[in-house]
Amino acid sequence: MADRRPQVSVIMASRNAVGHLPLAIGAVLAQTLTDLELIIVDDASEDDSWALICAAAATDPRIRAQRRSHSGGPAIARNDALALARGEWVAVCDSDDSQHPRRLELMLNAAQDLAADVVADDMILFSEQPMARGATILGQHAPKVARMLNLKDLVLSGVDPEGISHIGYLKPLIKKRFLSELRYDPRLRIGEDHDLYLRLVLAGAKMWVLPMAAYLYRRHAASTSYRNVPGDLAAQIDVLDDLAKQAGNEDLATLADIRRRALLRRHAQLELAWDVRAGHLMRALRRVVMRPDHLPWLASVLHNRMGLKMQAAASRLWRRPQNWRFGRSSNGAGGVTLPIDAEGALDLSTAAASVWARMCCEASRRPVEAEATDALGQSALWMVPTVRGLAAGASDVANGTRAQSSACAMAGLADPERVAVESSGHQQHSAGPDDTDG
């Protein structure tokens, strides 16, 4: 493996994700596209993540790992992983997410058919906490046929209500040659993905969004993407301004100005929200007087949070356990009708995304045990990560040598030929668990 170039390098940055790593690692190792390597960079975790990574690496020679001596944040950790990547393609995955085993094979086939340089799919939300509704990242903007993104799509993502929102959240498959010079910007803690995708398109990469949803995106309180602060948006504005100046592209300059004004408005809204959260009510009131147009936004945020709290309370009251049966003909009690494509395989298209999102939502509200009655049922378990059936299976894959983890952590690695381990340290930032916004 050391001298052989894999087809795909999967890069995964991780910090303090010991509770989620087994599922994330297991989903990569279970891919039907087996010609891959998994590069995990531990960003100086303070939990048992490194011991778990070592134990997983000892079971599969495709895993290569590196541990940073100081936390540098997700951008720097991903750059470390890119420096180690040897594949023709690079797949980006987070350490607390999951994906269906057929995902990378389907994406690579689509990339070759489309002559694409970057391909991405929609993402289905899941959580251990009660969710208000089933949803995907792209929502109503998810394409029904493959769609190539242009400069406007990238720059105005989340700004133009008619455009595709949340492009920066996507976890694409990228042709490695476009990453020879490009890297994540270490100044960004939030938005580093979106910035990289924008620079890829500016460099001439053809980026497509596929009509499929096979990536499972975990929502939880520790996610970096849900702890946005005004300073993060200020950094995004600075990076956008620098890019617009350096690129010398008139179209980019015009579009960047629209995005900049939207980010400034969002920055002011976040300052208002943080004042309310911190109890600085007089300061918040002054902000509302100066910018009364922010009041409807704040009311909407408070309304949504109240709705989530009410949903959580209701779920605690009616958390009646359920038993599901997954299979091609799951009749009888607990039988779940699975979406199947024209070839008789599990449907992972955009058309079926709402079905999987609804199941993930239901599984967040109550304990669910799922029984797979055949191979199709086993495949379906991957699309609802919080049901007990999949959680046990993924843990077995990644933690098969858990008993060795303590010794592995002390020794560095049991077999240095089976996993590359290094310690690196660059500039230090404060960083939470790696679950970054684009």
- Residue 159, Cβ density class (10 Å: 0-12 exposed, 13-18 middle, ≥19 buried): middle
d(CA 281, CA 367): 40
Residues 148 and 116 in one domain: yes
Residue 437 lies in a domain: no
Q: Residue 111 corresponds to which tokens in the numbers above?
A: 């990339």
Q: Which residue has the higher pLDDT, 398 or 386?
A: 386
- Check which CATH number belongs to the domain holding 46 and give it: 3.90.550.10
The sheet with strand 335-336 has its strands ordered as: 335-336, 322-326, 368-372
Q: Is the pLDDT of residue 413 over 50?
A: no
Q: Is the pLDDT of residue 424 over 70?
A: no
Residues 223 and 237 in one domain: no
Residues 236 and 333 in one domain: no
State pLDDT tens for residues 108-125: 999 999 999 999 999 999
Residues 32 and 90 in one domain: yes
Residue 152 lies in a domain: yes
Residues 384 and 403 in one domain: no
Give φ, ψ of 418 to 5 degrees. -90, -15
d(CA 8, CA 24): 16
Residues 148 and 76 in one domain: yes
Residues 52 and 109 in one domain: yes
Q: What is the pLDDT of residue 390?
A: 59
Q: Is the pLDDT of residue 50 over 70?
A: yes
Residue with tokens 């085993």: 101
Residue 277 lies in a domain: yes
How many angstroms separate the Cα of 372 from the Cα of each of 196, 300, 321, 382, 391? 40, 41, 17, 11, 13
| Domain span holding position 192 | 8-227+399-424
State pLDDT tens for residues 177-236: 999 889 999 999 889 999 999 999 999 999 999 999 999 999 876 555 445 677 788 899
What is the arithmetic mean of pLDDT over 388-406?
A: 42
Q: Residue 105 corresponds to which tokens in the numbers above?
A: 């094979």
Q: What is the enclosing helix (H) or strand (E) of 227?
A: none
For 67, residues 6+ apart whose C-beta sits below 8 A from its C-beta are 41, 42, 44, 50, 421, 422, 423
Domain termination site, one of 271, 304, 337: 304
Residue 356 lies in a domain: yes
Residues 174 and 269 in one domain: no
Residues 239 and 335 in one domain: no
Residue 431 lies in a domain: no
pTM of the complete model = 0.82
The pairing of strands 207-218 and 147-148 is antiparallel
CA nearest to 57, candidates 435, 320, 420: 420
State pLDDT tens for residues 273-317: 776 777 777 777 777 777 777 777 667 766 766 776 776 666 666
Number of domains the chain is built from: 3
What is the arithmetic mean of pLDDT over 314-342?
A: 80
Residues 257 and 216 in one domain: no
Q: Is the pLDDT of residue 35 over 80?
A: yes
State pLDDT tens for residues 359-383: 999 999 888 999 999 999 999 999 9
For 203, residues 6+ apart whose C-beta sits below 8 A from its C-beta are 178, 181, 182
Q: Is the pLDDT of residue 409 over 50?
A: no
Residue 213 lies in a domain: yes
Percent helix, strand and coil across the chain, each to the nearest 5:
45, 15, 40
Residues 130 and 50 in one domain: yes
Residue 316 lies in a domain: no
DSSP 87-119: SSEEEEEETT-EE-TTHHHHHHHHHHHHT-SEE
Residue 313 lies in a domain: no
Residue with tokens 């949070």: 305
Residues 145 and 74 in one domain: yes
Q: Confidence band (pLDDT; 50, 70, 90) for 63?
A: very high
Cβ 131 vs Cβ 118: under 8 Å: no
Cβ 233 vs Cβ 259: under 8 Å: no
Q: Is the pLDDT of residue 427 over 80?
A: no
Task: Please report how many Cα atoms fall inside a 13 Å half-sphere around the Cα of residue 116, on the Cβ side.
Answer: 24
3-state secondary structure 398-428: HCCCHHHHHHHHHHCCCCCCCCCCCEECCCC
Q: What is the enclosing helix (H) or strand (E) of 268?
A: helix 250-278
